[in-house]
Amino acid sequence: MPRRLLAAPLLALACTAPGTEPAGPAPTPAATAAPEAAAPVTPPAAPAAPAAPAAPTTADGEADTPPAPASDGPLVDWWCLCYYKVGADGPEPLTACRSSQAECAKLEKAVMAGKSGIIYASVTHPCQESKAAHPGDVHGGRDVWQPSKKAGSWLSAGACRLPGPGKEVDLSARPAEAEGLLSAERFGDLRYGLPAADVTAKLGEPASRGKNQLWEADGAYHQDWSYPAIGVTLDMASDSRSGPKKVASITLRAPATLATSKGVTVGSPRALVLDRYGKLRDPESPAEDDTFVAGSIFGGVIFAFEGGKVSQIFLGAGAE
């Protein structure tokens, strides 16, 4: 018995050796704390990429995409200018580039004269030099340009692609020719003011004559002379009922073959009228698909169109 009593203290002493916690009561499952998760290792931060430069903007705040650099071909000299041409809906801005200063100067001279469907004296940006493989590489991008009819030249319609505001131009200005068109125009041998005796000498007696009526608008007596076989109707006017008459207006319809002084006839395409008479357009008349007024509605040539072709040509005063 004494030995058993001695062994019990020794066993208790061994269970409480240094570094060993005395065992406590067993914890219940609900009181057992979850083991803590190991803290994640954060890798060193990558250096921040430099901010992209802001896209340049125009004066109105819109993003201005710079033209793409030349992708092929050597740099060459381009001479470019901006002006207005006669468009289907009115004046249309245009940029043109030529391969030499002389060619650009020649075009600029044509614009100032108002030739071939160009708005008279409408140069906003005179000839200026640029160096690029293609004009679009420095002026707006290649996709807004198209080859000109003139070999080695380029055109961009709808806007001036050259820098700067440009010169203000009067798009209603017209050459002296427009002001004198009524008296200068000819339909074959017929003209405004031609005496009745000359009319019958050229065309013979009319197939019919209308009533001799007084017009309050001008105080003259007017009478229609009709030549249906040749598509001509003349308004003959005189200061008195029995006075000598002269041509006050000429109207051509099919089957007329007489041509205007610029070569336009009934049946000509609308494009030909714009080309030949574009610079003489009446700025006070609306741009319409079915009519075109050269000179003035108070005295000039009025073209009517059907299906894109001339159906009627009138010379005289369309309004009083």
Residue ranges making up the domain that contains 80: 76-157
pLDDT at 127: 96
Q: Does residue 252 fall inside a structural domain?
A: yes
Whether pLDDT at 123 is above 60: yes
Q: Give 87 or 128, the one with higher predicted confidence.
A: 128
At residue 48 the predicted structure's pLDDT band, cuts being 50, 70 and 90, is very low
What length does the chain have?
320
Q: Which of 104, 125, 157 is the last residue of a domain?
A: 157
| Across 111-136, average pLDDT | 88
Whether pLDDT at 50 is above 50: no
Residue found by looking up tokens 């073209």 in the block = 303
For residue 27, say if its preceding peptide bond is cis, omega within 30 degrees of 0.
Answer: no
| Across 235-249, average pLDDT | 95
Residues 214, 128: one domain?
Answer: no
Residues 120, 202: one domain?
Answer: no
pLDDT at 273: 94
| Across 53-80, average pLDDT | 58
Residues 128, 214: one domain?
Answer: no
Residues 135, 198: one domain?
Answer: no
pLDDT at 282: 85
Q: How far are the Cα atoms of 133, 183, 202, 231 from residue 198, in angstroms, in the given order? A: 62, 16, 6, 18
Q: Does residue 122 fall inside a structural domain?
A: yes
Whether pLDDT at 172 is above 80: no
Judged on CB neighbours under 10 Å (0-12, 13-18, 19+), 126 is: middle
pLDDT at 17: 45
At residue 71 the predicted structure's pLDDT band, cuts being 50, 70 and 90, is low
Q: Give 257 or 50, the one with higher predicted confidence.
A: 257
Q: Does residue 89 fall inside a structural domain?
A: yes
Whether pLDDT at 9 is above 60: no
Residues 221, 138: one domain?
Answer: no
Q: Does residue 68 fall inside a structural domain?
A: no
Q: What is the pTM of this model?
A: 0.53
| Across 42-51, average pLDDT | 45
Residues 148, 198: one domain?
Answer: no
| Across 169-182, average pLDDT | 78
Q: Give 187 or 36, the one with higher predicted confidence.
A: 187
Residues 307, 181: one domain?
Answer: yes
Q: What is the pLDDT of residues 272-312, one digit of tens each?
A: 999 999 888 887 777 677 999 998 888 899 999 999 999 99
Q: Does residue 38 fall inside a structural domain?
A: no
Q: Does residue 97 fall inside a structural domain?
A: yes
- The span from the CA of 231 to the CA of 272, in Å, is 21
Q: Does residue 297 fall inside a structural domain?
A: yes
Residues 184, 301: one domain?
Answer: yes
Q: Give 112 or 244, the one with higher predicted confidence.
A: 244
Q: Does residue 69 fall inside a structural domain?
A: no
Residues 149, 234: one domain?
Answer: no
Residues 126, 208: one domain?
Answer: no
Residues 260, 144: one domain?
Answer: no
Q: Residue by residue, what is the 3-state secondary structure of the chain?
A: CHHHHHHHHHHHHHHCCCCCCCCCCCCCHHHCCCCCCCCCCCCCCCCCCCCCCCCCECCCCCECCCCCCCCCCCCEEEEEEEEEEEECCEEEEEEEEECCHHHHHHHHHHHHHCCCCECCCCCCEEEEEEEECCHHHCCCCHHHCEECCCCCCEEEECCCCCCCCCCCCCCCCCCHHHHCHHHHCEECCEECCCEHHHHHHHHCCCCEECCCEECCCCCCEEEEEEEHHHCEEEEEEECCCCCCCEEEEEEEECCCCCCCCCCCCCCCEHHHHHHHHHHHECCCCCCCCCEEEECCCCCEEEEEEECCEEEEEEEECCCC
Residues 96, 210: one domain?
Answer: no
How many structural domains comprise the chain? 2
pLDDT at 191: 96
C-beta separation of 292 from 271 below 8 A: no
